[in-house]
Amino acid sequence: MAVFNKIALIGVGLIGSSIARVARERAIANTIAISSRSQQTLDEARTLDLGDEYNTDAAQIVKDADLVILCTPVGVVGNITSIIADHLKPGSIISDVGSVKVSVIQQMLPHIPDGVNFVPAHPVAGTEKSGPKHGFATLFDNRWCILTPTPKAEESAIEALGDFWQACGSSIEIMDAEHHDKVLAITSHLPQLIAYNIVGTADDLEAVTNSEVIKYSAGGFRDSTRLAASDPTMWRDVCLHNKEAILEMLARFSEDLSAMQRAVRWADGDTLFDMFTRTRKIRRDIIDAGQEIDAPNFGRDD
């Protein structure tokens, strides 16, 4: 049975289109309404047959929706909420999929009308690709979806959104928004910045030509380029909107990197060996937790 009668997706890139696909394939919603900023992306979604209603005007698709999900970069969620607020159905739920949560709540909460439930969410699932054609229905399977409920949400609305994400394949975790932003700063945002830096440094190296970087790219560098190929708008917004937590993690990381630099300089093999042994266990734990598979190139086919 459908969890919601009508859902409205504002933004139909990788995440929005994956929600549309899974909602249709598993009959989680009876009607799927889609909005995107550009006519071009909306036409692409229509060609892919992702929904039942299409409109570039987000206010038009939310009117009778039971669940509205903002699937845009996090820097624009406040503005979009201010535009759709007066059109939201009383008793409905508004949510998002943003990779940061404190800023999203600060931006959206002031615009949420009384009687509408605001339950922010973050599906911890994704790829480096963007746009509607790259979404897929199984994206959220066996992944976590973190809910960071606000005071403007009935318990039943939090449960209903949890049911929705479970039907999409995810496991649910409820977390404080500040805590979410710290956890994601270390597990996602910092690795992304490090990848940008590795690829940027290689690109800047004068002693090594660009064609050599590409020709001899070993696994580690290739994995970094995959991350560094992610959507620049999304990641610019994540950095701007999770500034404090990212700076805190970067400071810790810089200290640890200096310690490693010292160990290399002084040929302190014991320190290096101990460190590499400790980190190896973490990968084993991630595989055991079902969040990665133990296959070459992580089982990815590109």
- Told to check if 20 binds ligand NAP by CB under 6 A, we report no
Total of residues contacting ligand NAP (CB under 6 A):
26
Q: Which is nearer to ligand NAP, 15 or 177 (CB)?
A: 15
Rounded CA-CA distance 5/181 in Å is: 32
Q: Which is nearer to ligand NAP, 79 or 205 (CB)?
A: 79
Q: Could you say which residues in the range 219-248 bind ligand NAP, by CB under 6 A?
A: 231, 234, 238
- Told to check if 97 binds ligand NAP by CB under 6 A, we report yes
- Told to check if 74 binds ligand NAP by CB under 6 A, we report yes
State in angstroms the smallest separation of the CB of 294 from ligand NAP. Answer: 22
Q: Which is nearer to ligand NAP, 102 or 234 (CB)?
A: 234
Q: Could you say which residues in the range 103-122 bind ligand NAP, by CB under 6 A?
A: none
Q: Which of 99, 117, 148, 192 binds ligand NAP (CB under 6 A)?
A: 99
Binding-residue pattern over the window 44 to 73 for ligand NAP, x denoting contact by CB under 6 A: ---------------------------xxx
Q: Which is nearer to ligand NAP, 28 or 71 (CB)?
A: 71
- Told to check if 185 binds ligand NAP by CB under 6 A, we report no
What HEC string does the chain produce?
A: CCCEEEEEEECCCHHHHHHHHHHHHCCCEEEEEEECCCHHHHHHHHHCCCCCEECCCHHHHHCCCCEEEECCCHHHHHHHHHHHHHHCCCCCEEEECCCCCHHHHHHHHHHCCCCCEECCEEECCCCCCCCHHHCCCCCCCCCEEEECCCCCCCHHHHHHHHHHHHHCCCEEEECCHHHHHHHHHHHHHHHHHHHHHHHHHHHHCCCCCHHHHHHCCCHHHHHHHHHHCCCHHHHHHHHHHCHHHHHHHHHHHHHHHHHHHHHHHCCCHHHHHHHHHHHHHHHHHHHHCCCCCCCHHHHCCC
Q: Which stretch binds ligand NAP (CB under 6 A): 11-19, 200-208, 213-221, 284-292?
A: 11-19
Q: Which of 29, 61, 65, 98 binds ligand NAP (CB under 6 A)?
A: 98
Q: Which is nearer to ligand NAP, 97 or 153 (CB)?
A: 97
The residue length of the chain stands at 302
Residues in contact with ligand NAP by CB under 6 A are 11-16, 36-38, 41, 71-74, 76, 97-99, 123, 126-127, 130-131, 231, 234, 238
